[in-house]
Amino acid sequence: MNNLVTYARDGGIAVITIDNPPVNALGHATRLGICEALEQFAADHDAQAAVLICAGRTFCAGADISEFNAPPEDPWLPAVVQKIEDAPKRVVAAIHGTVLGGGLELALGCHFRCAVASAKFGFPEITLGLLPGASGTQRLPRLAGIEKALDLMISGKPMDAAQARQIHIIDEIVEGDLRRGAIGYASRIVAERAPVRRISKMSVDRTAVPPDFFDRYRERIARQSRNQIAQEQIVRCVEAAVQLPYRQALKLEGRLFEKCKKSVQSRALRHLFFAEREAGKVPDLGREVATREIRKVAVIGAGTMGSGIAMCFLNAGWPVVLVESDRVGLDRGVAAIRKNFETAVQKGRMSRDEHESCMNRLIGSLDYADIGDADLVVEAVFEDMKVKKQVFAKLDALCRPGAILATNTSTLDVDEIAAVTSRPRDVIGLHFFAPANVMPLIEIVRGGKTATDVIATALALARRLRKIGTLVRVCFGFVANRMFIPYIREAQLMILEGAAPERIDQAMVEWGMAMGPNAVLDLSGLDVFHRFLGAWKDRPHDPSFCRMLTVLCERGRLGQKTGAGFYNYDGRNAVPDPEVAAVAAREAAALGIRPRRITDREIVRRLTVSLALEGARVLDEGIALRSGDIDVIFANGFGFPRYRGGPMFYAGSVGLARIEAAAARYRKRYGDRYWTPPESLARHTLRPLTKS
């Protein structure tokens, strides 16, 4: 037996302990150790039952995902689960922490299950484009029923121990010490001569659902599962649990699991899984770099972004001083924070006590002097270089030595901002995405003189805020907005060529984007992007460049906030407006642009290729560290479909030849300005981040 799994006995109860930190992942060595321990248990005549328990902070939190890129090594997890169930004597799973995916399947192989009240249970495989592939799709419906089993696997959301007991996933909730309680539970089972319960021998209750249940269930999840394959495979597996003998259905589960695992969608989702964990690793930032202590935070600006940023820090437990220049703006910002917290309470996302605690940590102020003792100051004022320089000059004069001065700019030169201070080493960009209290991403912008401990602190802050921090360097727009420029450039040119805004948006939404490019501009405000592009010193001398954006702004059509932009708005409902098409036709004629037929395929290919080409340039210039970082930014900041992996992974999955062929077509039509691929494109798109 290896050192990851140990066997001991407590009286007549064997204790099999898995100790594979940090999360007791079910890698090959762990699986091998479990099998060897089961054999020792079977041969131990003095052991009347066994408790399967895990050391550390959690029961097995799942399979070792890194093994999915390699051929399976025996014993594979389904065989281990079956070996547990086939044990001639009773096996009890003792559960704490998070029992997820393969870990839950391991527990379902046991004959009985007990858990502490704080344990969480779930099948998150769907988030990786997979299905539970170690008999989970067959065992769960036999315990929880057809509909509850499907809901748990399709949603991927965890449940608590009380809910798990209600649907028979566990049999007992243990008070106090888990090991002692589980041994006591096992001893009681032995004393009561409770028969060994093998889930595979149970039948699925078909009478609990109507005959057309599966058809109706597919209709119910159609929007959620658009373009994705794993949801349908899970439904097929549960159908098989109802219609086929267990062994036949189990074989189908295995085949469909392999189909999912080999799919581009699952590879894309696993790529993002690892890329998000890799994002916080910086080559020149060793473990010896200490972080600065942050005890108090100040936010300058109580507008939408400032109040949202303040909420992030309040939620994470920091006291926050929110500074605004006038009473009306400050009161509006504080009221917005209070309203958001009230909504969270009403929706059950926050307790009343947590709400009051957050509000008690918030201080609204009209006086910069109140931030003198802050350890971190985040500036979130108007996106104007002159205004930001004025703010940072004040911060430099008032803030204590060693305080971190951060700007929330989404486009402007962090080094130019830092230059107005006497402490550029303390200046960094923290670009929160709107709405800041909801979006999971922060672009951490490293200035030319930013100290390494400031960078380390920013990355640690992102983790404590439960956000993904991606480190980027300074250029106009950094990574996110710089790459978004060619995306909206091409969308707007296609409008001039005769493609309706709603058709462009619909093509991208059907492909998987959360919103189309024109709807995004309307939501954010056309004037915001117009100012943003106006500040771009290297803007191309191209009269057609984002021409529609300029014309609509001149007409006062600024998007949702004015009731008209690329669309007219009935509340938040977008309504196509023929006037936009008429304006586009007039502008196109003035620019000499002829209308042409544009297919949905061209819309998708043109927009995604424009992203990939700009992404390669960003990587060449060292603005982003890795192609995976770009994918993380677009998946978490722009609603790029996760199952397509991000713009760089997607380009790699399409294939270099197709990307280059598309770029060549557009270069022939539009010239060299935008469509010449960098020579490095192959290197940046064909090596998506995976573990092997």
DSSP 164-213: HHHTTS-SEEEPS-HHHHHHHHHHHHHHTTPPP--GGGSPP-GGGS-TTH
Q: Does the pLDDT of residue 69 top 80, yes or no?
A: no
For 71-98, what is each residue's pLDDT tens digit? Answer: 778 999 999 999 999 999 999 999 999 9
Ranges of each domain in the chain: 5-262, 297-473, 480-685
Query: Of 431, 340, 314, nearest to 380 (Cα)?
Result: 431
Query: DSSP labels for 211-234?
Result: TTHHHHHHHHTTTTTTT-SHHHHH
The predicted model scores a pTM of 0.94
Q: Does the pLDDT of residue 654 top 50, yes or no?
A: yes
Q: What is the pLDDT of residue 275?
A: 97
Given the residues 67, 85, 105, 172, select the one marked as catalytic: 105
Q: What is the pLDDT of residue 223?
A: 85
Given the residues 36, 39, 73, 125, select the one marked as catalytic: 125
Which residues lie across from 446 on neighbouring strands? 473
CATH fold label, 297-473: Rossmann fold (3.40.50)
Percent of the chain whose predicted confidence (pLDDT) is above 70: 99
Q: What is the pLDDT of residue 690?
A: 43
How far is residue 519's CA from residue 671's CA, in Å, rounded to a whole number? 28
How far is residue 284's CA from residue 280's CA, in Å, rounded to a whole number? 12
Q: What is the pLDDT of residue 572?
A: 87
**Residue range 449-465: average pLDDT?**
97
Q: What is the pLDDT of residue 691?
A: 42
Q: Does the pLDDT of residue 14 top 90, yes or no?
A: yes
441 burial (CB, 10 Å; 0-12 / 13-18 / 19+) is buried
pLDDT-based confidence at residue 686 (cuts at 50, 70, 90): low
**Residue range 466-472: average pLDDT?**
98
Query: Of 310, 300, 306, nearest to 341 (Cα)?
Result: 310
Query: Of 393, 430, 440, nearest to 639 (Cα)?
Result: 440
CB-based burial, 309-347: b 16+ in 10 Å, e otherwise: bbbbbbbbebebbbbbeeeebbeebbebbeebbeebeee
**Residue range 377-393: average pLDDT?**
96
**Residue range 123-128: average pLDDT?**
97
CATH number listed for the domain at residues 5-262: 3.90.226.10
Q: What is the pLDDT of residue 94?
A: 98
How far is residue 493's CA from residue 498's CA, in Å, rounded to a whole number? 9
Report the half-sphere exposure of 57 (CA within 13 A, side-chain side).
Answer: 4
In sign, the C-alpha dihedral spanning 75, 78, 81, 85 is: negative
pLDDT-based confidence at residue 68 (cuts at 50, 70, 90): confident
How far is residue 443's CA from residue 410's CA, in Å, rounded to a whole number? 9
**Residue range 373-396: average pLDDT?**
96
pLDDT-based confidence at residue 683 (cuts at 50, 70, 90): confident
Which residues lie across from 321 on neighbouring strands? 298, 363
Q: What is the pLDDT of residue 183?
A: 98
CATH 3.40.50.2300 fits 480-685, yes or no: no
For 17-45, what is each residue's pLDDT tens digit? Answer: 999 999 999 999 999 999 999 999 999 99
- The answer to whether 53 and 16 are in contact (CB under 8 A) is yes
Q: Does the pLDDT of residue 1 top 80, yes or no?
A: no
For 542-568, what is each residue's pLDDT tens digit? Answer: 999 999 999 999 999 999 999 999 999
For 499-510, what is each residue's pLDDT tens digit? Answer: 999 999 999 999
**Residue range 287-291: average pLDDT?**
89
pLDDT-based confidence at residue 16 (cuts at 50, 70, 90): very high
How far is residue 416's CA from residue 114's CA, in Å, rounded to a whole number? 60
Q: Does the pLDDT of residue 688 top 60, yes or no?
A: no
Query: Is 602 designated active site?
Result: no
- The answer to whether 672 and 540 are in contact (CB under 8 A) is no
| φ and ψ of 472, to 5 deg | -135, 165
Q: Is 446 helix (H, G, I), strand (E, B) or coil?
A: strand
Segment holding 103, helix H or strand E: helix 102-109
Listed in sequence order, the residues at least 6 apart from 342 whose beta carbon sits closer than 8 Å to its beta carbon are 355
How far is residue 549's CA from residue 167's CA, in Å, rounded to a whole number? 54
**Residue range 329-352: average pLDDT?**
96
Domains 5-262 and 297-473 share a fold: no
How far is residue 76's CA from residue 64's CA, in Å, rounded to a whole number? 11
For 175-217, what is each residue's pLDDT tens digit? Answer: 999 999 999 999 999 999 999 999 999 999 999 899 999 999 9
Q: What is the pLDDT of residue 248?
A: 98
Query: Is 105 designated active site?
Result: yes
**Residue range 593-612: average pLDDT?**
97
How far is residue 7's CA from residue 542's CA, in Å, rounded to a whole number? 73
The mean pLDDT value of the chain amounts to 95
**Residue range 258-272: average pLDDT?**
96
Q: What is the pLDDT of residue 285?
A: 87
How far is residue 460's CA from residue 458's CA, in Å, rounded to a whole number? 5
**Residue range 140-160: average pLDDT?**
97
Q: Does the pLDDT of residue 224 top 90, yes or no?
A: no
Q: Does the pLDDT of residue 284 top 90, yes or no?
A: no
How far is residue 652's CA from residue 503's CA, in Å, rounded to a whole number? 26
